[in-house]
Amino acid sequence: MLSRSHSISVLGVLFIMIAVGQSAFEIAQGNPLSETGIDFVLISLPGMLLLYVGRWLSTIDVDRALYLRIAGWCLGGIGVMLVFLFLRAIHPGVATSFTFGERAIAVALGSVAGLAIGIHDARAIIREHEAKRRNDQLERARAELDRRNDELRAVRDELEETVDEVKRSNERLDHFASIASHDLREPLRMISSYLDLIEDRHADDLDSDGKEFLEYAIDGAERMTEMIDGLLAYSRIETQGDPFEPVDLDAVLAAVRDDLQFRIDEYDAEITTESLPHVRGDATQLRQLFQNLLSNAIEYSDDPPRVDVTAAERDSEWAILVRDEGVGIDPDDQERVFELFQRLHTVDESPGSGIGLAFCRRIVDRHGGTIRVDSEPGEGSTFSVTFPKA
C-alpha cells in the first residue's frame, strides 16, 4: 500500500517519465535537440522538485495527514492548469493550439505552484497546531499553578488556625496554672502553717516516730510548693517570655557561673568552655536553660565534677554541647527525662521537683531548636542543644 509520504514523490516520478517519453518522441520525429532539451528540462525539473519534496517530507516530524493535503494542492494546481488548457482549446477566437509538450510543461508548472501553496498551507496548519499545543500547555500549567496555590492557601489557613489554637491553648494553660496554683497554694499554705505550729508547740510531746512523721509531712509540703511553683513557671514560658533579641551566649554562661559559684566551690567543680556564638532569643530563659544543665551536670557527676561546654557550627544552626563525667543515663530513659515530674533518682538520692529538664525542653522549643542527650550508664552524659543561626 502506497504511504501518504510517497504520494507526492509518485507525481514527481510521473512527470519525469513524461519528460523522458516526450523527449524520445520528439527525437524520433526529428525535432531539433535544443527544443527537445528545453522541453525535457521544463517538464522534468518540476518532477524532480516533487520527488525531492516528497522524500524530504518523509524525513521530518510532520503530521502524516498533511502529506495528502499537500498532494491535494499539487493535484489542484494540475487541475487548474488542465481547465486553463481546456478553455484555451475551445476558445472560438484562438486558432493556435498547444502541442503535447507545451501542455505537459503547463501541467508540471501547475503542480509546482500547487506544491508551493500546499507547503505554505501545511506550515500555517503546523503553526496553528503548535500555538494550540502551547496554549494547552499554558492552560494546564496555569491550572496546576492554581491548584497548588489553593493547596498552599489551605495549608496557610491550617497553619494560621493551628497557631491560633496553640496561642489559645497556651493562654488557657497559663490561666489554668494560675488558678490551680492559687487554689493549691492556699490549702498547702494552711497545712504548712499548722505543721509549723505542731513542730513549735508540740515537738517535745512527740516520740521519735511522731517526729519522723512530722518531718516527712513538712518535707512533702515543701516539695509540693516547689512543684506548684515549677508548674506555674513551666506554663508561662510561652506566654510571659521576653521578646527575642541577639544574645551573647558567652555572657549568659558567665552569668550562670556566677549564679552557681557557691555550688561550684562546694563540689570543687571544674567547668571549661569554648567561645560560644550569638543567637536570637530570650536572655532570661536561656540563662535558666544553662543554669539547669550545668546544675544537673554538677549534681550527678563523680567527685570532683568536670563539665565541658563547647559549640559546633552546622549548616543553619548552632549546637551547644554540655558534657559531664557523671553517672550517665540509660538509653531507655533518655527521652523520659524531658517529661514533667519524671525522676530517675529518689528524693533521698537527689532533691528537686523533677521539672528541670522538661523546663529546658520547653525553652528550647520556644527558640525553634532541639535538645537531646547521648549517654551510657557510668560514662557521663552529653546534652546537645541546637539554635537557629541568628
Measured CA to CA, the distance from residue 320 to residue 382 in angstroms comes to 10
For residue 304, cis peptide bond before it (omega within 30 degrees of 0): yes
Q: Are residues 372 and 254 in the same domain?
A: yes
Q: Are residues 8 and 120 in the same domain?
A: yes
pLDDT at 347: 46
Q: Are residues 122 and 197 in the same domain?
A: no
Q: Are residues 187 and 307 in the same domain?
A: no
Is residue 359 included in any domain, yes or no? yes
Q: Are residues 276 and 295 in the same domain?
A: yes
356 close to 371: Cβ distance less than 8 angstroms: no
pLDDT at 346: 46
Q: Are residues 29 and 139 in the same domain?
A: yes
Q: Are residues 310 and 221 in the same domain?
A: no
pLDDT at 142: 92
Kindly provide the b/e burial profile for residues 72-108, where b requires at least 16 CB atoms within 10 angstroms of the residue's own CB. ebbbbbbeebeeebeeeeeeeeeeeeeeebebbbbbb
Q: Which domain holds residue 286?
A: 245-388
Interhelix angle 7-28/33-57, nearest 10 degrees: 170
Is residue 208 included in any domain, yes or no? yes
Residues facing residue 240 across a β-bridge: none
Q: Are residues 249 and 381 in the same domain?
A: yes
Residue 283 is classified by DSSP as: H
Residue 337: burial class (beta carbons within 10 Å; 0-12, 13-18, 19+) = buried
Residues facing residue 320 across a β-bridge: 311, 385
Residue 242 is classified by DSSP as: P
Q: Are residues 300 and 218 in the same domain?
A: no
Is residue 151 included in any domain, yes or no? no
Measured CA to CA, the distance from residue 256 to residue 284 in angstroms comes to 11
102 close to 18: Cβ distance less than 8 angstroms: no
pLDDT at 143: 92
Question: Which CATH number do you get for residue 381?
Answer: 3.30.565.10
pLDDT at 323: 92
Task: Return the H-helix or E-strand segment holding 13.
Answer: helix 7-28
Q: Are residues 112 and 133 in the same domain?
A: yes
- Reference 386, options 70, 374, 367, 246; nearest CA is 367
Is residue 349 included in any domain, yes or no? yes
Residues of the chain with pLDDT under 50: 1-2, 346-349
pLDDT at 342: 62
pLDDT at 320: 93
Residue 265: burial class (beta carbons within 10 Å; 0-12, 13-18, 19+) = exposed
Is residue 275 included in any domain, yes or no? yes
- Reference 309, options 262, 275, 279; nearest CA is 275
Is residue 222 included in any domain, yes or no? yes
pLDDT at 182: 67
Q: Are residues 251 and 346 in the same domain?
A: yes
Is residue 155 included in any domain, yes or no? no
Q: Per the confidence metrics, is the pTM higher than 0.85?
A: no
The domain tally of the chain equals 3
Q: How many residues does the chain have?
A: 390
State the residue for C-alpha cell 522538661: 358
Is residue 159 included in any domain, yes or no? no
Q: Are residues 94 and 193 in the same domain?
A: no
CA angle 288, 294, 296 (to 5 degrees): 100
120 close to 74: Cβ distance less than 8 angstroms: no
